[in-house]
Amino acid sequence: MTKLRILFSKNGLVVFTLALLSGANAYADKPEFELAIEQHLFEPSVLVIPANTKVKLWVSNKDSTPEEFESYELNREKVVLGGQRALIFIGPLAPGEYPFFGEFNPKTAQGKIIAK
């Protein structure tokens, strides 16, 4: 109850906001992972990343057509044009499986990230 009072007090709200903002970018060296899109398929289709760690995910689209990396579970969506490479920050994730798909080719472009 006291914590709630502090959180909703004027100073508490400022501290909470600053804590939120300072939380971002607090991870100096983020591990990097690569994901490719080729023939409307993700390669690898299963990507294992460390749990509770923010990572940089590079998505390279080797097709000539664009793709949208999308995941409801990860809360991510990003258009990657044909022949381009895009950066997406992911996590820190609790251990578990997080499916993703290509919105422009959802039948073939399917994959999942496993955080462990």
Partner 1 sequence: MLLTSVIIIIREVLEAAFLISIILSLCVQLNLTRHWFKWSLAGGVAGSIALGSQFGWVSNLFGGIGQELVDAGLQVFIYLCLLYICFKFIDHYFKPSGSNATFRAILTAVIACAMTREGSEIYIYLLAFQDLPEGGLSLYGGSIIGFGIGFSCCALFYYWILSFSVSRSLLLGCVLLTTMASGMMLQAAKMLIQADLLPDGQLWDSNGLLAEQSLAGQLLYALVGYEATPAPAQLMIYMVSGLTMAGVIIARHQYWRHRQLPEEANQYGN
CA dist list (Å): 100 to 4, 27, 32: 36, 24, 18
- Binding window for partner 1 (CB under 8 A); candidates: 31-39, 45-53, 83-91: 83-91
Q: At closest approach, how far in Å is the CB of 84 from partner 1?
A: 6
Considering the rule CB under 8 A, would residue 10 count as an interface residue with partner 1?
A: no
Query: Which residues is 47 bridged to in the sheet?
Result: 113
Q: For residues 18-77, which are near partner 1 according to CB under 8 A?
A: 20-21, 23-26, 54, 64-66, 68, 72-73, 75-77
CB 111, CB 103: distance < 8 Å: no
Query: Can you say whether the dihedral through the CA atoms of 38, 40, 42, 45 is positive or negative?
Result: negative
Query: Which residues is 61 bridged to in the sheet?
Result: 37
Query: Which residues is 98 bridged to in the sheet?
Result: 113
Strand pairing report for 55-61 and 32-38? parallel
Considering the rule CB under 8 A, would residue 4 count as an interface residue with partner 1?
A: no
Q: At closest approach, how far in Å is the CB of 30 from partner 1?
A: 8
Q: At closest approach, how far in Å is the CB of 66 from partner 1?
A: 5
Number of residues lying near partner 1 (CB under 8 A): 37
Residues that bind partner 1 (CB under 8 A): 16-17, 20-21, 23-26, 54, 64-66, 68, 72-73, 75-82, 84, 86-92, 94, 103-107
